[in-house]
Structures are given as C-alpha cells and as structure tokens.
A = this chain, B = another copy of it.
Amino acid sequence: MAADHLRETAISSRLIFDEGFLRLRKDLVRLPDGSQASREVVEHPGAAAVAALTDDGRVVMVRQYRYAPDAVFLEIPAGKLEKGEAALHCAQRELVEETGWRATQWAWLAPVHPAIGFSNERIDVFIARGLEEVGACPDAEEFVEVEIVAVADLIEAIRLGQITDPKTVLGVFAVERMQRGEWAWPQFEQINSA
C-alpha cells in the first residue's frame, strides 16, 4: 500500500544470528519525523499452508506439539519453504508428508503475515480438494496426528479459543464462507502429480 509518509528507512543493520531457518538482525532506522529507533527483525524463509477439503466438505487437520509456545495445536498442514521452492509446491509437499493425503485441485487463497511486529514471515494459504490417500511420509522430526474435522466444529473451536494460529483461523473462516456461498470459490487448478 502506498503510504510513504509512514515509512521507516534503514540506516544500518547488524546481523545477530544466522542458524537453522532463522536470521536475526537489529537495524537502526530513521522514522518519518527524522528521529532514529532500533528494530529487531526475524528473517523467515516463508511458508505455505493448505485447507484441504474432503468430498463431504471436512478439513484435513494435523495435531502437533509446538515447542516455542509449549502447547499442542490443531492446525491445517503447513511448512517452511525450502530454498527456491514455490509456495504451491511447498503446500503440496507438506500435505502429503504430514497427512498422507494428496489433492488434485488447488487454489491460492491469501497470504498471512503472522508476526508483523518483528518478522517478515509470510504464509501463503491454499485451498485444495480432490483428495486421494497416498500414505504419510513425515520428516524424521515430525510427530503429527491427522484428524478430519467438520468446518462447523473448527469454527466452534475458534470461538472457544482452542484454534489460535493465524493460517488455520483464516483458512477455516474462508472455507466456511465459501461453503455458505458468501464468498465465491476460487478457480481451482488441476494438478495430477504432487
């Protein structure tokens, strides 16, 4: 969005950490009024997620432990982009790896910016259907449980504060609006190999 009068510009940047998938830098910035401030930035490679729908309109969910918040979350499948990987490919890969389901119809829904206060992470959320079971092939480090859940139950879990992660909140609300005819379904692309 064009709002250049609100913009902050970098004066200098210090790299603090660059291991695993995260980079942390601390920048000195110039504010719109000319004064200076520091900004911590967690650089993230980006991620993709998918609300994959069964023929009867339920959603393929994964339940998994998340170390940073120290809690178990019920989420739509998602994962980080590998180097050079397109978001659609990542979402397709994660769906199969985490759930053992493959989808033949895919559409992009919207981006999510989870932590705009300190990170550039962007999650591209997709909607998929035309599911075929192929068998899960999780990464060595992934421990997830797959659940197929009705959209009404997911909406209720959001109301109760039991689903709290942004890609899932957006995906569930969007799918419900499409199922109720309040939002048009996106144009699905037929994809025959994951």
A118 within 8 A of B: yes
Q: How many copies does the complex hold?
A: 2
Q: How far is the CB of A55 from chain B (nearest CB, A)?
A: 25
Whether A143 lies near B17 (C-beta < 8 A) is: no
Chain B contacts for A42, CB-based, 8 A:
22, 24, 42, 68, 118-119
Whether B47 lies near A68 (C-beta < 8 A) is: no
Task: Assess A67 versus B39: contact at CB under 8 Å? Given A115-B115, A170-B158.
Answer: yes
A193 within 8 A of B: no
Main secondary structure of the interface of A (DSSP, over half): mixed
Q: Mark A157-194, 1 if CB is under 8 A from B, else 0.
A: 01111101110011001100100000100000000000
The size bracket of the interface on A is 35 or more
Chain B contacts for A107, CB-based, 8 A:
none
**15 more A-B contacts (CB under 8 A) besides A20-B26, A22-B118, A70-B120?**
A1-B162, A2-B72, A6-B65, A6-B72, A8-B67, A24-B42, A33-B143, A39-B68, A68-B117, A110-B164, A111-B164, A113-B165, A119-B119, A159-B183, A165-B166
